[in-house]
Amino acid sequence: MRRILSLAVLCLFAATTQADPLHLYLTYSDAPETTIDVNIITDRKTDRVHVFYDVESQNGAQSEYRHVVEAKYHPSLMEIADRRALYVAKLTDLKPGATYHFVAGDKTYGYSGERKFHTLPGGDAPIRFVNGGDMGMDNRAIGILKEAAKHDPDFAVIGGDLAYADGMIGNEELWDAWFDNWDTFMRRSDGAMIPLITCIGNHEVNKFETDDPKLRSPWYLPLFGRQGEKVYYTRKVGNNLAFVVLDSGYLNPFDGEQAAWLEATLKAHQDTPHRFAVYHMPLYPAFSNYNGARQTLARKTWGPLFDTYGVRVAFEHDDHVAKRSKPLKGDAVAETGTVYIGDGAFGRESRNVDRELRWYNAMEESVVHFWLVDVTKDSVKLQAIDRKSRVFDSLTLP
Ligand SMILES: [Fe+2]
């Protein structure tokens, strides 16, 4: 009898459980108002992967969704790890400020249950995002993810060092845990998925000596390397916000082509009220050495461009502490200038800060946290929040 009962429970479970693809996550490679990329990782390479989508819920009934797009197969070194394969469906011509419901997957390895996401409204509508970096996937990371999700961000800006796989082919279980956490805990209160805007960190690359970036970064590049033409890229959000997302020398030098691109891109965004830079290694650290060779080079190369083109906020990471700089210009404290915030403790254990504030900083604290950022046409509000919902620092820029 007991066996019959357990069989009945098992059958019920099988009838209601959806065989999701291995991972599903959202990124952008174009305007967040009208496009989104649905990234699908299947257990193995398969024939045809589709995304069925609609502005109305169809409760997972594939034939009922008004739109369908076939996801493109992207060959990657991830397949050498354990045969998992990556497919990306670019959804375009979406309605701004809408909710889209979708199902994604394939016949062999399974379709997801119905998921949803929101397109951004565009124009002058307020934008809310969370920022952090240096994550991992233990209970500390889960706690801070849950806290970030409570604020219903439109998207998340992750400043590198996500799964700490170090560009090693054998570390797929780290990415599995990272994606499982993201998908489970980073949902808006209505269940909508939260899209990612990411930059590369030092733990996304290995030390293998090669000119082929795909071999240096066999996970990050396939997973997140299509947000722009290169690993550094720009993303405009609405009328008032533009990100420049940079590579702190892991696959591309600070100077040369990347610096030329940065200058041209900041120039092109001159009429956008708020220009934000996102990258991994701090120019104005609160833990690492201000006079370190890489920090000095990054400051000399990017700093004058931030000054010239009025970058309002630079989002820094890597040091596993909380910090907010004073407004800085010309490598000195100024009345108006770029505010550098960070420094990447969105899950990793926080390191100790100095006993005294460094000359360029207004706040330094040893605390696991994220930044909540609210952007309107006229203002940028920054709040640093810890795992207990404590807002321990805030600043509003006009
Ligand atoms: Fe790092």
Distance 300 CA to ligand 1 centre (A): 20
pLDDT over 50 at 389, yes or no: yes
Ligand 1 center to 317 CA (angstroms): 7
Q: For residue 170, what pLDDT is reported?
A: 85
Confidence of residue 6 (pLDDT cuts 50, 70, 90): very low
CA of 248 relative to ligand 1 center, distance in Å = 10
Which domains can be identified in the chain, with CATH numbers? 20-118 (2.60.40.10), 127-397 (3.60.21.10)
Rounded Cα distance between 238 and 269, Å, is 12
Confidence of residue 18 (pLDDT cuts 50, 70, 90): low
pLDDT in tens, 28-75: 999 999 999 999 999 999 999 999 999 999 999 999 999 999 999 999
| Chain segment 327-384, per-residue pLDDT in tens | 999 999 999 999 999 999 999 999 999 999 999 999 999 999 999 999 999 999 999 9
pLDDT in tens, 127-140: 999 999 999 999 99
Which 3-state string (H, E, C) describes the chain? CHHHHHHHHHHHHHHHCCCCCCEEEEECCCCCCCCEEEEEEECCCCCCCEEEEECCCCCCCHHHCCEEEECEEECCCHHHHHCCEEEEEEECCCCCCCEEEEEEEECCCEECCCEEEECCCCCCCCEEEEEECCCCCCHHHHHHHHHHHCCCCCEEEECCCCCCCCCCCCCHHHHHHHHHHHHHHCECCCCCECCEEECCCHHHCCCCCCCCHHHHCCCHHHHHCCCCCCCCEEEEECCCEEEEECCCCCCCCCCCHHHHHHHHHHHHCCCCCEEEEECCCCCCCCCCCCCCHHHHHHHHHHHHHHHHCCCCEEECCCCCCEEEECCEECCEECCCCEEEEECCCCCCCCCCCCCCCCCCEEEEECCCEEEEEEECCCCEEEEEEECCCCEEEEEEEC
| pLDDT level of residue 9 (50, 70, 90 thresholds) | very low
Distance 82 CA to ligand 1 centre (A): 26
145 Ramachandran zone, left/alpha/beta (phi>0; psi -120 to 50): alpha
Q: How far is the CA of 202 from the centre of ligand 1 (A)?
A: 5
Q: What spacing in Å lies between the alpha carbon of 272 and ligand 1's midpoint?
A: 30
Q: What spacing in Å lies between the alpha carbon of 281 and ligand 1's midpoint?
A: 7
Tens-place pLDDT, residues 227-268: 999 999 999 999 999 999 999 999 999 999 999 999 999 999
Distance 204 CA to ligand 1 centre (A): 9
CA of 200 to the centre of ligand 1 (A): 9
How much is the pLDDT for 317? 98
Residue pointed to by tokens 């907010």: 324
pLDDT tens digits for 79-131?
999 999 999 999 999 999 999 999 999 999 999 999 999 999 999 999 999 99
d(CA 143, CA 145): 6
State the distance from the centre of ligand 1 to the C-alpha of 226, rounded, in angstroms: 21
| pLDDT tens sequence across 137-179 | 999 999 999 999 999 999 999 999 999 999 998 889 999 999 9
Share of the chain above pLDDT 90, in %: 94
Residue 3 has pLDDT above 50, yes or no: no
CA dist., res. 218 & res. 73, Å (int): 16
Q: How confident is the model at residue 15 (pLDDT cuts 50, 70, 90)?
A: very low
The predicted structure's pLDDT at residue 341: 98
